[in-house]
A and B are shown apart, each in its own frame.
Chain A
Amino acid sequence: MYNVIQLFAKYGAHILFIILEVVCFALIINYNKTQKDIFLNSSNVFAAKLSEQQNKILQFTNLKAQNDSLMRENATLIENIITSEYLTDKIPAADSLLNQYTLIPTIISSTTIHKRNNYLTLNKGYREGIRSDMGVIASHKGIVGIVRNISENYSQVISLLHSQTKISCAIKNRMGHGSLVWKNMDPLRMTLESIPKHETIAIGDTVITSGYSTMFPKGILVGKIETYNVIPGSNSYNITVKLFNDLTNIKYAYVIQNRFAAEQATLEKEVANE
């Protein structure tokens, strides 16, 4: 007993400290909701924070898969836009579940921009249904080129930035159509030729695809009119078009599959042979 009293006399303050702290913590845990919750499942709070961080890191590892699925989604959305451009003036197809145009999402595996004749290579080819003379677009805004050669798994595309490029284009809400060519080695600007000079046009007008060819459906946005003039003695405008898409840094492209391309081509060939 004496020992206990002596012990208490010597360490009384420390024991008192411990007792008081225990009392305080008992009070804290019993009467404060937050602390009680944390005390009861503090491991859960820690685990939740940890798994949140883990998720953040792991998200990077499947970015590629996510990109692929986003591209497929985009393809569907652009198909819908193209279809809706037609809804007003088109007899429904025999099988309305199948659109006339389907998009094949691809990744651009190589590209040049600084030569006079530029080409791109896509990472999909014959096996995925790509054929030559199909159009290639970057999104609803902006065309990329036309498929030229295909192999089993790759396809070569004539870029817009090519001296032979000639794409049938029109100006939105105006009459007339002309062809888009690349003359001036500027990867952001192209020239629209043979719009008759009696048509009214204005700077800032939107240039769209005309839909006369089998490659591009009508209404894909190409660019804006930057400047225009009439070359003396000529009968048509010389229009500089600022492209919507920047071909120098595109990574993804969609190949347009036109279900009726062969039909239209055959018909037009018959006419030509007469």
Chain B
Amino acid sequence: MNSAIPTNVFRFVFIFLVQVMVFKQVTFSLGGLAYIHFIIYPLAILLMPIKTPRGVLLLSAFVMGLALDMFYDSVGIHAATLVFTAYIRNIVIALLEPYDGYNMSDVPTIKNLGIGWVVSYLSITLLIHIFVYFSIEAFSYVFFFEIFLNTIFSFIVSFIVILVAQFIIQTKY
């Protein structure tokens, strides 16, 4: 369990850097209809070991969110969203629990839990995350149509990136 901490810290920093250095630059708009954001930073929280205490999840999500907000000039929006995602993470994990339960040391990877589990886990949490993100960004459901479009398009591109990353980078913890 101890060696899990450096791995997670490293992944945390790595995902943060990739998000602000690479994917922040490729935000583009789709014919003025929807904005496509590559939102991969929830991975830092989602890939933490399954039995990580909730408090740790929430606090690291808060830190990550605020750090992202500094780069995105959107004080609090990423933080609020990521804290929410960290909170519902455990609910989704509980819903998807396999018949024989989780191991204490399980990390949510394809190798440990199988591709079906990883796909449903990541897609559910990511979709919720992106929807909440655009809702808070718009801050009013008057713009429901815009929120809906942005969510759909951003989800598709982000999920492809995240899923490919699961095959390329496979960590032990």
Smallest Cβ distance from B2 to chain A, in angstroms? Answer: 22
Say yes or no: A16 contacts B58, CB within 8 Å.
Answer: yes
Question: How many Å lie between the Cα of A39 and that of B62 in the bound state?
Answer: 22
Which candidate, B4-12, B42-50, B77-85, B111-119, is the interface stretch facing chain A?
A: B77-85
Question: Per-residue CB proximity of A7-51 to B under 8 Å, as 1/0?
Answer: 000001100110011011111101110110011001001100100
- Most chain A CB inside 10 Å of its own CB: which residue of B55, B69, B140: B140
Q: Residue B139 contacts which of A17, A20, A27, A39 (CB distance < 8 angstroms)?
A: A39
| Secondary structure dominating the interface of A | helix
* Chain B residue total in the interface (Cβ 8 A): 22
Q: CB-nearest residue of chain A relative to B65?
A: A24
* A35–B83 CB distance below 8 A: no
Q: How many whole Å from A54's CB to the nearest CB in chain B?
A: 14
Task: Determine whether the beta carbon of A20 is less than 8 Å from that of B142.
Answer: no
Scan B100-143; emit 1 where CB is below 8 A from any A CB, else 0.
Answer: 00000000000000000000000000000000000010011010
Chain B positions within 8 Å of A31 at CB level: 75-76
Min CB distance A41 to B, Å, is: 10
Given contacts A21-B84, A28-B136, A34-B139, contact A16 B55 (CB under 8 A): yes
Interface residue B23 (Cβ < 8 Å from any Cβ of A):
no
Cross-chain contact B140 with A45 (CB below 8 angstroms):
yes
Q: Cβ of A13 and Cβ of B55 under 8 Å apart?
A: yes
Instruction: For residue A91, give the distance in angstroms from its CB to the closest CB of chain B.
Output: 59
Interface pair A17/B75, CB less than 8 Å apart: no
Q: Does B53 contact A (CB under 8 A)?
A: yes
Q: Is the CB of B142 within 8 A of A28?
A: no
User: Which residues of A102-150 are within 8 A (CB) of B?
Assistant: none
Q: Which of B58, B62, B136, B142 contacts A45 (CB 8 A)?
A: B142
CA gap between A23 and B69 in the complex, in Å: 14
Interface residues of B in 49-108 (CB under 8 A from A): 53-55, 58-59, 61-62, 65, 69, 74-77, 79-80, 83-84, 87
Residue of B nearest to A27 (CB): B76
Contacts A20-B62, A39-B139, A45-B142 given; indicate if A28 touches B55 (C-beta within 8 A).
no
For the complex of A and B, the 3 pairs showing the least CB-CB separation, nearest first, are A27-B76, A13-B54, A24-B80
